[in-house]
Structure 1
Amino acid sequence: MPVNILFAARPERWTTYEQPLRNALKDAGIDAHLATDIAPSEVDYIVYAPNSTLQDFTPYTRAKAVLNLWAGVENITGNPTLKIPLARMVDPGLTKGMVEWVTGHVMRYHLDLDTDILKTDTVWAPRTPPLAQERTVTILGLGALGTAVAETLVFLGFKVTGWSRSPKNVPGVTCLHGAEGLEQALKTAEIAVLLLPNTAATENTLNADTLALMPTGAFIINPGRGPLIDDDALLTALDSGKIAHATLDVFRTEPLPQNHPYWSHRNVTVTPHIAAETRAITASTVIAENIRRGQAQEDFLHLVDRDLGY
């Protein structure tokens, strides 16, 4: 009997994912009925995007798991009707995209590329760029994405500090945790990269008090979640020169409103939430593997801890 898999996401996602999912399920040896419209009582798995019209999971009495298409799960973890396992997306394609995006912006700041790209009216002033070993980069968040970024920066020679709420161990990285660890991590953060999940505990991780801990002239890169930063506090720190520049890819409201001060601030770079995107082919492989595991009564990959919110 085929495994009934409901694809519950916006129509454009179905267009992107239908064939990669069918291919991945076939490659995993799963006889699947994959569709966007299956009677709730007959659904075995739900491939899901939190902006789907499906918000009440109560009728899905046979379903074994909800398999999220997004890395972020903050818009679904609080759903009181969701009683079955929820797996977040850890997509190797997304991870590679995030690593490349963050590394590019770290190198932009590290080498001061904006200064060295000359125009006809700028001064010819050769200088010796610093080496990576002379720069400390702090990664706030050592989940799958933060760890991958940290490992790449270590490989390039940077001094890397990582901070997480609970203890972690990443070779070559100075790993800190807890409130005291955050203070220590920020004091040496010449470049800070935010890759924390969006939870009540992480909101405004960078605020007036924590920004004050950072070295004067530090840089901030946020490809994680908009609420990780207190916007007013960051603008104040940018105006004073405490923070030299910020590259922001995520915001509390998206698209970023046209009247937001970030647009006109000379020391802010705005990018349109492009740091990392789930790739249909690689994500489909992850989903198919979790369905295979569910059918074999093995543990699911990347399960969400509802209490922690990620």
Structure 2
Amino acid sequence: MTTVLFAAGDAAWVEYAPHLRHALAEAGIAADLVTEARPETVDFIVYAPSSPLQDFTPYTRCRAVLSLWAGVERIVGNQSLTQPLCRMVDPGLTEGMVEYVVGHVLRHHLGMDRWIKGATGWEQIVPPLARERRVGLLGLGELGLACARALKALNFDVAGWSRSAKSGLEIPAHHGDAGLEAVLRRSEIVVTLLPRTAETENLLDARRLGWLPSGAVIINPGRGALIDDAALLAALESGAVGHATLDVFRVEPLPDDHPFRSHPRVTVTPHIAADTRASSASRVIVENIGRALAGEPLKHQVDRARGY
């Protein structure tokens, strides 16, 4: 019998337990799914970085820690975690992110805020066609590529950037400092979908924000630390950035008195762009358990050196 310890909190247990049990039965895996167990008996840990479990040293038999979160910055530096760590790549989360990004890109592309807020007069401002609107995707992982494909299917002129070279993609893909400048200088709408690492923190600082076309829009459903808050506020005040739609922040919940809350050219959404769905995420977790039991490589295993 395989012992699977669920260490992601009581609320998540209520949500996930039936889906995990169903997925395990469907996969034909005989497992004891529990919230408490002697560490030396645990084979797998289903995990959330907010869990009280922070010392993995006693879990000597554990074959993998399977996170329910897409982001791993809160756990990847834990020195006691020597077991393989897998991040969550959930089809449901991906679908939600695509819908959020496409929705807000279309909103800004069409200039919908002007009319939603009740503009007066009869100024017939007709937006360009999507093929005439240049969109930049910063981050070409699972989420970034899914969003890029969806936007390309709507005929947007999409280019992407990643920290390392990518090839064989459906869109122009850039990397490195020169590539980042090239993408930012061309992009009227920029979407940030990068993980938080030492290299990506404050990636969009004052200098790089200055590379954007005047009045460009930023959509950030990735990580709050990707953007220098003070530099963004200054760019919004000067008009260098026309609007920022932000779903993630350095401090969450975003304090009521934060300048983003009241800024007329900032849209704040409360970290709702995408969430892990218990039904689909449970199948991802169980697939990795099955792969480990069969001696196959784990999917979505975190590269500790790169931080994601």
Bin of the TM-score, shorter chain as denominator length = over 0.9
Cα displacement string for residues 134-176 of structure 1 (whole angstroms, at most 9, x for unaligned residues): 0010000001000100011111101111000011135331100
Matched, 1:145 2:139: no
Query: Is this contact kept in 2: 1:147–1:170, CA < 8 A?
Result: no
User: What is the Cα deviation at residue 125 of structure 1?
Assistant: 2.5
**Runs in 1 of length 4+ with deviation above 4 angstroms?**
none
Q: Percent identity?
A: 59
Q: In angstroms, what is the RMSD of aligned CA positions?
A: 1.0
SS at match of 1:224: coil
2:67 paired residue number? 68
SS at match of 1:74: coil
Separation (CA, whole Å) in 2 of partners of 1:84 and 1:117: 51
2:25 paired residue number? 26
1:178 paired residue number? 176
Cα displacement string for residues 198-244 of structure 1 (whole angstroms, at most 9, x for unaligned residues): 00100001000000000001000000000000000000000000000
How is 1:150-165 mapped onto 2 (pairs within 5 angstroms)? 150-165=148-163
1:15 paired residue number? 14
How is 1:13-92 mapped onto 2 (pairs within 5 angstroms)? 13-92=12-91
Q: TM-score, normalised by structure 2?
A: 0.98
Separation (CA, whole Å) in 2 of partners of 1:118 and 1:20: 42
SS at match of 1:263: helix
Query: Is this contact kept in 2: 1:44–1:62, CA < 8 A?
Result: yes
SS at match of 2:210: helix
User: What is the Cα deviation at residue 258 of structure 1?
Assistant: 1.3
Query: Is this contact kept in 2: 1:25–1:32, CA < 8 A?
Result: yes
User: What is the Cα deviation at residue 127 of structure 1?
Assistant: 3.3
Query: Is this contact kept in 2: 1:160–1:172, CA < 8 A?
Result: no
How is 1:198-237 mapped onto 2 (pairs within 5 angstroms)? 198-237=196-235
SS at match of 1:106: helix
One-letter amino acid of the structure 2 residue matched with residue 222 of structure 1: N
SS at match of 2:195: coil
Separation (CA, whole Å) in 1 of partners of 2:242 and 2:273: 21
One-letter amino acid of the structure 2 residue matched with residue 95 of structure 1: T
One-letter amino acid of the structure 1 residue matched with residue 83 of structure 2: I
Query: Is this contact kept in 2: 1:101–1:276, CA < 8 A?
Result: yes
Quickly say closer, same or farther: Cα 1:37–1:118, change in 2 above 3 A: closer
Correspondence for 1:262 among 260, 263, 269: 260
Cα displacement string for residues 263-296 of structure 1 (whole angstroms, at most 9, x for unaligned residues): 1111000000000000000000000000000000
2:236 paired residue number? 238
User: What is the Cα deviation at residue 69 of structure 1?
Assistant: 0.3
**Number of matched pairs:** 308
Separation (CA, whole Å) in 2 of partners of 1:9 and 1:148: 27
Separation (CA, whole Å) in 2 of partners of 1:212 and 1:206: 9
Query: Is this contact kept in 2: 1:223–1:249, CA < 8 A?
Result: yes
Correspondence for 2:298 among 291, 297, 300: 300
How is 1:263-282 mapped onto 2 (pairs within 5 angstroms)? 263-282=261-280
For structure 2, the 5+ residue unaligned runs are none
1:116 paired residue number? 115
Separation (CA, whole Å) in 2 of partners of 1:4 and 1:192: 44
For structure 1, the 5+ residue unaligned runs are none
Quickly say closer, same or farther: Cα 1:126–1:47, change in 2 above 3 A: same
Separation (CA, whole Å) in 1 of partners of 2:171 and 2:112: 26
Cα displacement string for residues 86-111 of structure 1 (whole angstroms, at most 9, x for unaligned residues): 00000000000000000000000000
Separation (CA, whole Å) in 2 of partners of 1:287 and 1:202: 28
Separation (CA, whole Å) in 1 of partners of 2:7 and 2:168: 36
One-letter amino acid of the structure 2 residue matched with residue 206 of structure 1: L
2:4 paired residue number? 5
User: What is the Cα deviation at residue 117 of structure 1?
Assistant: 3.4
SS at match of 1:96: helix
Quickly say closer, same or farther: Cα 1:242–1:118, change in 2 above 3 A: closer
Cα displacement string for residues 5-51 of structure 1 (whole angstroms, at most 9, x for unaligned residues): 00001100001100000001111110010010011000000000000
